[in-house]
Amino acid sequence: MAQSDMRGGNYAAELQAPEIYRERRRKLREALDGGMAVLWGNGDDRGAGDVGTFRQDSVFFYLTGVELPNAILVLRADEDTLFLPPRDIDIERWTGPKWGPGDDAAEALGFDQVMSLSASSIVLDARIRPVPSFEGRMQAWLCEPEAVLWTEFPTVPSSAELPATHRLVAQLKDRTPSFGVRDLSDVVSELRQVKDAGEVALMRRAAEITTLGHRSAAKAIKPGVGEGAIDGVVYSAFREGGAEGLAFPSIVGSGFNATTLHYDQNVGVCGEGELVVVDIGARYGYYCGDLTRTYPVNGAFTERQKSLYNLVLDAHHKVQEAIRPGVTLFDLRKIAYGVFQDSRVRDSKGERLGQHFIHGLGHFLGLDAHDPGGDSIPMAPGMVITNEPGLYLQDEGVGIRIEDDHLVTAYGNENLSGSLPTDVDSIEGMMS
Ligand SMILES: [Mn+2]
């Protein structure tokens, strides 16, 4: 096997060059004020019956491109160090070849050094010398005067065991109380919000593959077809399109199920005359697509469905026109809400429709389907958000949502999923 085939595990459909991750670490380091940072990758605790492949922690992947389980990244003022578990040839018979500590891995993965996570001893000058453990090295680095350690502190439920971060910091503080501790999360989140050209290319591909899922779903939807069958057709199209898998569990909800926002059981049946909401996302090169379309099960909208659908589409269009640098998701939601509230279309009680738009306008998108970023962040070029207004009338068994992925550009935005139509005629056309 070629050595490049071992790179980091190779679960992603496409990996970017190590220099790109190195550049991100350089940017992060600039924000650390001379401090050091430590970050943990995910462990691999899948059992024999578990589904899916190992998935690296998003922040760790963003900064390293390394998909190996149980890795640790340490950034110091002048040095990027990756810690990896030592290679185990017996285990690799099961898991395939993996990078381990050493110069080869450092060169291939773009780090100054790749060190072993286990303490050991080496023979040097005919004497045995102990090689310090990861904790020992951290201890030594943090003894330096005015040392600051940046790391992430995920919130922990009171009953759960403390994550590695909390345990290590407590242990180090026990012996060397002098160093300062700072939370890294906001710094990394800000970096992740603005996508570089490589990320945009991967996201464009993820969106494009997601449109293939919709085209297949549209053809499969008919009265009597199970939501699960649609779910399967979508997955098949994603894999055929080159995706490594799902960005999130597919939502296929017909009739009343369409009014449940995160319905993901997909066990119902598409009923005569119902609308079915299909909210799906392919994952490509670790990046997420996230697109929703609403289809009439019979292949044609009723007049009532059409008037509600066109209202959601109008909100979607008005939001799309407004996405540009400076606006916030909160501003955009007000636009969509205004369309529903000002419309002459009413619910079954004769009331205005604004109250039936029960969620936010959208969210940031990237390595995670819900990428870091909130409703009050002003848009900047390179940010990617979803635009997904919806109406949910439970007593009519009607849920409608239309969602596209938009890249914020210098003066406006680009709809990354613009090739998948939204108008009534085209939706009906896709189904025939
Ligand atoms: Mn979404």
Instruction: Give the tens place of pLDDT for each residue, 85-141.
Output: 998 888 888 777 888 999 999 999 999 999 998 866 666 566 776 777 888 889 889
d(CA 366, CA 373): 11
On whether the 194-431 domain is CATH 3.90.230.10, my answer is yes
d(CA 428, ligand 1 centre) in Å: 23
Residue 141 neighbours by CB distance under 10 Å: 19
Q: 3-191 has which CATH code?
A: 3.40.350.10
**Rounded to the nearest whole angstrom, what is the distance from the C-alpha of residue 282 to the centroid of ligand 1?**
12
Q: Which strands make up the sheet holding 113-116, listed edge to edge?
A: 113-116, 79-84, 72-76, 36-40, 148-151, 180-183
pLDDT in tens, 54-92: 889 999 999 999 998 899 999 998 899 999 999 888 888
d(CA 274, ligand 1 centre) in Å? 22
Distance 289 CA to ligand 1 centre (A): 9
Distance 96 CA to ligand 1 centre (A): 35
Q: How far is the CA of 35 from the centre of ligand 1 (A)?
A: 36
Q: Residue 97's pLDDT is what?
A: 81
Whole-number pLDDT of residue 1: 41
Share of the chain above pLDDT 70, in %: 94
Ranking 44-53, 242-251, 358-367, 415-424 by mean pLDDT, the lowest is 44-53
- For residues 391-401, average pLDDT: 96
Give the distance (Å) from ligand 1 centre to CA of residue 60.
23
Per domain, the residue ranges of the chain are 3-191, 194-431
- Measured in Å, residue 337 CA sits from the centre of ligand 1 at 17
Cα-to-centroid distance, 399 and ligand 1 (Å): 15
From ligand 1's centre to the CA of 279, what distance in Å? 8
CA of 174 to the centre of ligand 1 (A): 44
The Å distance, Cα 15 to ligand 1 centre, comes to 24
Q: What is the mean pLDDT of residues 182-187?
A: 92
Residue partners of 250: CB distance under 8 A and separation at least 6: 231, 234, 235, 264, 266, 278, 279, 280
Cα 256 to averaged position of ligand 1 atoms, centre (Å): 19
The alpha carbon of 363 and the centre of ligand 1 are apart by a number of angstroms equal to 7
* Distance (Å) from CA 139 to ligand 1 centroid: 43
Q: Could you read off the pLDDT of 137-167 as tens digits, one per residue? A: 898 899 888 899 999 887 777 777 777 778 8
How remote is the CA of residue 128 from the centroid of ligand 1, in Å?
A: 57
Ligand 1 centroid to Cα of residue 287, in Å, is 14
- CA distances in angstroms from 377 to 96, 130, 237, 319, 389, listed in the order given: 43, 50, 35, 16, 19
* pLDDT tens-digit series, residues 10-61: 678 788 899 999 999 999 999 998 899 999 998 887 766 666 678 899 999 9
The C-alpha torsion from 85 through 87 and 93 to 96, rounded to 10°, is 70
Taking only the tens place, the pLDDT of each residue in 204-246 is 999 999 999 999 999 999 999 999 999 999 999 999 999 999 9
- The whole-number pLDDT of residue 261 equals 80
* 14-23, 273-282, 300-309, 342-351: segment of lowest average pLDDT: 14-23
Split at pLDDT 50, 70, 90, the class of 270 is very high
d(CA 286, CA 50): 20
Q: How does the average pLDDT of the chain come out, rounded?
A: 91
